[in-house]
Chains A and B, each alone.
Chain A
Amino acid sequence: MAKNVTIAFNQGTIDSESALVRVYRSPDDTAWTEIGTSVVNTGNAADYVDLGPSDNGLADGTWYYRAAQEDSVPNLSAFGPSVSVTIDTTAPGAPSIATLTVGDFTP
């Protein structure tokens, strides 16, 4: 089952003149795709929820995100550092009880 990722921004880094924050996603921290924007209101950027490709959720694996803010001109800022999140919806293999021994094992 794929999952969504909620991205919260460090509000202290949002410029009061910014109008929006552009959010980018990458599967490898190299090839980036803009996936959406978050509206900035008086210096606060709303959380952004990544619903995955076609809003079908993100597949298992590690995903990277980065963001840049933009003013009304528009001038785009430099990108902030990327962050990663690992999606894991697969249960581990079933553990096995290899042996079960009744005895005196008291130290």
Chain B
Amino acid sequence: MGLRNDVRLELVVPADTGTGTTTLAIERDGTVVHTIDVSASTPGESITWTDNNLDLGTYSYVAIATDGAGNASRSLTVQATVSAEGVSLLAVSSTLAVRPAFASTLMSQPVYRSTLTATKALTSGFTVTATNDSRLTTAPAHASRIAVRSAHTSTLIAAPITR
């Protein structure tokens, strides 16, 4: 499970007398970001398209249907908000103490604002090489990526290092 920064739209193909609906274009904030050929679809059929990897923010979407003669109709505008996510937990996955030369896994578990919790943690493997391992005070790549995207992120690494 990754970041919840995709927007999935389910569109319904409209009917058209004459040449028939040929395309459905999707506008995001006034710019067409995708066009779907629906010339082989039937009116009422659902078409799904996902707008991936969006930055945080609110987006306006409009669907535009065009028939074979170039006549077009627009849908109502709908809005989607991609909100910040936070990393609420970073912990050493093993219940054993982390020791130098031992391979360990740092596990980050993103918790979303919408109260949903990721069902699969992001992990980053590394080997502790010294008593003071800087990697234990720096979030790994996965966590860093989450932190960059997060407006409210706290990172906690709590694990004793013993010899």
- A residues in contact (CB < 8 Å) with B: 60-61, 86-106
Can you report 18 A-B residue pairs in the complex whose CB atoms are below 8 A from each other? A88-B19, A88-B68, A90-B18, A91-B71, A92-B21, A92-B73, A93-B14, A93-B16, A94-B14, A94-B74, A95-B24, A98-B46, A100-B80, A101-B8, A102-B5, A102-B8, A103-B8, A106-B2
Question: Counting CB contacts under 8 A, is B66 at the interface?
Answer: yes
Q: How far is the CA of A93 from the CA of B19 in the complex (A)?
A: 13
- With A102-B4, A103-B8, A104-B2 as contacts: A94 and B65 at CB distance below 8 Å: yes
Residues of A within 8 A of B79 (CB): 100
Question: Counting CB contacts under 8 A, is B95 at the interface?
Answer: no
- B residues in contact (CB < 8 Å) with A: 1-21, 24, 43, 46, 50, 52-53, 61, 63-69, 71-76, 78-83
Q: Is the CB of A86 within 8 A of B12?
A: no
**With A91-B71, A91-B72 already in contact, 16 other A-B pairs whose C-beta atoms are closer than 8 Å:** A86-B19, A88-B69, A90-B17, A90-B67, A90-B71, A94-B14, A94-B73, A94-B74, A94-B76, A95-B74, A97-B75, A97-B76, A99-B10, A103-B6, A103-B8, A104-B6
Q: How far is the CA of A1 from the CA of B12 in the complex (A)?
A: 27
Residues of B within 8 A of A93 (CB): 14-16, 43, 65, 73
Residues of B within 8 A of A106 (CB): 2, 6, 52-53
Q: Is the CB of B65 within 8 A of A95?
A: yes
- With A94-B65, A96-B63, A97-B78 as contacts: A88 and B7 at CB distance below 8 Å: no
User: Per a CB cutoff under 8 Å, which of B8, B17, B66 touches A105?
Assistant: B8
The 4 tightest CB contacts between A and B, nearest first, are: A88-B18, A92-B16, A93-B14, A88-B69
Q: Is the CB of A97 within 8 A of B61?
A: yes
Q: Is the CB of B10 within 8 A of A60?
A: no
Q: Is the CB of B14 within 8 A of A92?
A: yes
Q: Is the CB of A96 within 8 A of B12?
A: yes
Q: Is the CB of B9 within 8 A of A99?
A: yes
User: Per a CB cutoff under 8 Å, which of B7, B12, B82 touches A98?
Assistant: B12
Residues of A within 8 A of B2 (CB): 104, 106
Q: How far is the CA of A42 from the CA of B68 in the complex (A)?
A: 38
